[in-house]
Chain A
Amino acid sequence: DGGITQSPKYLFRKEGQNVTLSCEQNLNHDAMYWYRQDPGQGLRLIYYSQIVNDFQKGDIAEGYSVSREKKESFPLTVTSAQKNPTAFYLCASSRVKGGNQPQHFGDGTRLSIL
């Protein structure tokens, strides 16, 4: 079945450490997105990419980095510069043919601080 796979499901970060969250899709979608979810705040966009080797900052990109070397993969690195990384991180993908394309979501990674 086609879908989006996020790993790991749970991740713990030590102070000063960078961690990388994986996101892989086999839906042949061009666009991929990373969101951060905090209780009561809905989803906030971190980064998005519409094509390989290109990506744009979202609303809360500070302290995060991404790469898009393959169409199927869009890993997110939470750097030590992100002082409050504890959150639920969601990856999504969609076609790029106008604003009527729904986004498909993975099951998320929950990141906590040790």
Chain B
Amino acid sequence: AQSVTQLGSHVSVSEGALVLLRCNYSSSVPPYLFWYVQYPNQGLQLLLKYTSAATLVKGINGFEAEFKKSETSFHLTKPSAHMSDAAEYFCAVSDDMDSSYKLIFGSGTRLLVRP
């Protein structure tokens, strides 16, 4: 069965510092992986997705994520945090073995950006 673990329910960084949000997945077949961002009282917005074309995936707003099969990880990074990055971030996994194409979400990481 698929699962997603996001380490750290809250991450706090200073403005301008590196952002690193961790995601580890469990899947018996090559997965599809996604990162979403959620601002308060809004829906989820897709940041980026991994679909096996390249292990380093670039997304919107300067974010990128690297797929590491040996570590079963898909961590999200941004070189320099901005105040507007403060939000909740969700990692999700899917695969072609489940014909429902459901997404399995992690429990989320809230990013706080200090001035």
Contacts and interface: CB of A to CB of B under 8 A. Distances in A.
Interface of A: 4, 6, 31, 33, 40-43, 45, 48, 50, 56, 58, 88, 90, 92, 94, 96, 98-108, 110
Contact of B106 (A42, A45, A103): A42
B32 A42 contact: no
A102 B107 contact: no
Interface of B: 9, 31-32, 34, 36, 41-46, 49, 51, 90, 94-98, 100-103, 105-108
Contacts of B45: 105
A98 B96 contact: yes
A98 to B, nearest CB: 5
Given A33-B102, A88-B41, 5 more contacts: A90-B43, A90-B44, A98-B101, A104-B46, A105-B43
A42 B43 contact: no
Contacts of B36: 105
Given A50-B100, A100-B49, A42 B107 contact: yes
B108 A42 contact: yes
B18 to A, nearest CB: 25
Contact of B49 (A48, A96, A102, A107): A102
Contacts of A43: 44, 90, 105
A31 B105 CA distance: 17
B94 A100 contact: yes
Given A42-B90, A42-B106, A43-B105, A99 B41 contact: no
Nearest to A101: B101
B51 A100 contact: yes
A40 B9 contact: yes
A82 to B, nearest CB: 21
Contact of A99 (B9, B46, B94): B94
A106 B43 contact: yes
Contacts of A88: 41
